[in-house]
Structure 1
Amino acid sequence: MSRILVTGAQGQLGSEIIKISKEYPTFDFIFVDMEEMPLEDITKVIAFLDKTVPDIIISAGAYTAVDKAEIEKELADQVNHLAIDTISHWCSNNGSKLIHISTDYIFDGTSKLPYNENDIAAPINWYGETKRRGELSIERNLNDAVIIRTSWVYSEYGNNFVKTMLRLMNERESISVVNDQIGTPTYALDLAKAIMKILTSDNLVPGFFHYSNEGEISWYEFAVEINRLSGLNCIINAVTSDQFPTAAKRPNFSLLEKTKIKKTYNVLVPEWKESLAKCLKILNS
């Protein structure tokens, strides 16, 4: 029985993996968060790995406060880069496999076409920079890791755009949402299922893979659909990024090309509206 260590257990993706893990009795899952394995403390990371000796690590734990990362630069780098360097180095020394979750924010957003796995990384904020450093560390330490870049993750767990919009739409008569940042949301449950599809495949093909739900929308269009599906009457105003300044700059275009993961692992990629409806059914029940 393979021992699977999942970091970031209390996060959106980790919570969804926990939910479906009972469907995979042939795996021995160990779920950890920052309390059990603090990613900012390299010594404790190594000690925990030495104690548990996982066969496979699903690296879902990360520093994800994009704006706050501009201030807490050292902490963001420790969690997203140095800890990943340590984990991947440990995997190399112990013959363990690694599936690591990265982000669309490693791209600068200047493309006119969906980003594929070979496009040049050029982060425009510190969060993206630390995640890219983590990717490069894995590449240096391991030649058989799976790195999945995803975007706009939401679920019924944790803090995310969908839950924030629901709260604001219930509190206010109108809200403003940017309409010039283009990408696709990712329902964390769909990503969790894709990861399990990879884990249970006959052959673990290494490399970079992109995964988000199907479609191409702005944050504004995302909000409009949340409003509609929830039966709310909030007025949604479209604004530009310039009208809604944030500490960290966001890529204007971060749509991900998903052909590789679909062909390599026969992964199902649901359409974004379909997945949003499923999540909202849970959140609004």
Structure 2
Amino acid sequence: MAEKKGYYKPIPGSRELLTRKELPEDIILKIENEVMKATPPAPVFEYQDSALGGVLLKGKMVGVPEEVFENLFKKLEPIEQSVYLQLFRLSYGAGRNFLRIGKKELSEKTNLSLLRLNSALEGLVKKGMVKPIHRSVRGTLWRVYHPQELGEAVNYQVQEGKRIKLEPVKPKKSKPLPPPEKPLESPLNIERFAELSQQKPEIPLKDIARKFFELKKEKPNSDQLDDALSIITGLLEDGFSRRQVLFAVEWFARNFPKEKDLSRLPYYIAKSLEEYKGD
């Protein structure tokens, strides 16, 4: 008979530890107290199979204000915490309040799928933690806000560089694409409603996603398909039509045969639609 699996799963090594009163003769407590009151670096005590004590890390470090952990993280979902911490490291860790990164690279750094990464970024933007400023073929430039800017009481000092005001430069005149209209609701909701009402949409989202892999002569797994749907949904929510996105997907597959996914499509959709003759 198979062992019945319950909801609770003990943490490895934790089950063997007994919760007990703190007694003066407890060696671990003695080590803890000695280390806490010592001037860093405190001694390292070897006891049984552990070495507990003071350790100072030296080298290239990233300072993160304690307010990030104590205040901001209480307002964030776990995946939002992961993404914010990476964005903070890549911006303030380099001595600036912004960074540029592509979603594919950020997805790899956070170990999140593009679908979950988009969800985390959406949450961070809505909560005012980060703001997308610019997009190019190298990725999106994100402005990252530190706790003081977000209205938190802080114990750190802020040193800014000299402020230089720049006047906006008028772009060269060119025939711009008409601005896309924002849809009234999420394309995914429209798709689900169509399925329930048995009214097949003109071009189903999955057909657009599968087209990319079909042109590459590959069979996508569920994660690859979800990531592609996430990119496509984002473009539709930006106001592009399904026919425009399908054209862009086909254009992208032809012009960038080495690309394994659609993560860079948003950076090229405007260029692809310069050749679009529909709508």
Q: TM-score, normalised by structure 2?
A: 0.24
More strand by share: 1
TM-score by length of 1: 0.24
With CA pairs under 8 Å and 6+ residues apart, which has the higher RCO, 1 or 2?
1
